[in-house]
Amino acid sequence: MDYQGLTGITTLEIQLNDNGGEYPIPQNQILENRRIIGLCILANPSTDHKSKTGRAIISDTEMAAGYLTLQKNSNKFVDTVPLNFFTTKSSDDRFVKLSINDGFDPSMSSIQFKGLTTGFTGDSVQIIFLYDNTEICK
């Protein structure tokens, strides 16, 4: 698959707990200042995938209750979109193409779980971002 402009890939891990249904996106200077051209979330149908820190990745059933919001200032680039929209199997070559020209603000972005707020202790969601390595001038 052709991802024109792709010069970098990075992964963000959102560590979950049983304290509530909304989890902020962790700070990442790369993604705050680069043009984001796509993202995906690895599906976990057999519940055996691990995050980059060794935590369990949430199951596909749990993923079905999750939503993603990416925002900068008052602009919501991704507005409460189901996590399943972004999921892919490791054998797929599928990323959701985006064009977020000047990054996003992690402090205004989050993953939310609707109707499912327990059972996450020790689990994570891992989002893979594709970006153009050109830093945006502020």
Q: Show me where the domains of the chain are located.
A: 17-135
The token pair at 99 is 């064009």
Task: Look at residues 73, 98, 86, 91 and name the one whose alpha carbon lies nearest to residue 14.
Answer: 86
Question: Using an 8 Å Cβ cutoff, are 25 and 110 in contact?
Answer: yes
Q: Within 13 Å of residue 29, how many CA atoms lie on the same side as its CB?
A: 1
Q: pLDDT over 70 for what percent of the chain?
A: 86
Single pTM value for the model = 0.85
Per-residue pLDDT tens digits for 94-107: 788 888 888 888 88
User: Range with the lowest mean pLDDT among 24-38, 68-82, 115-129?
Assistant: 115-129
Per-residue pLDDT tens digits for 109-123: 999 987 765 667 788
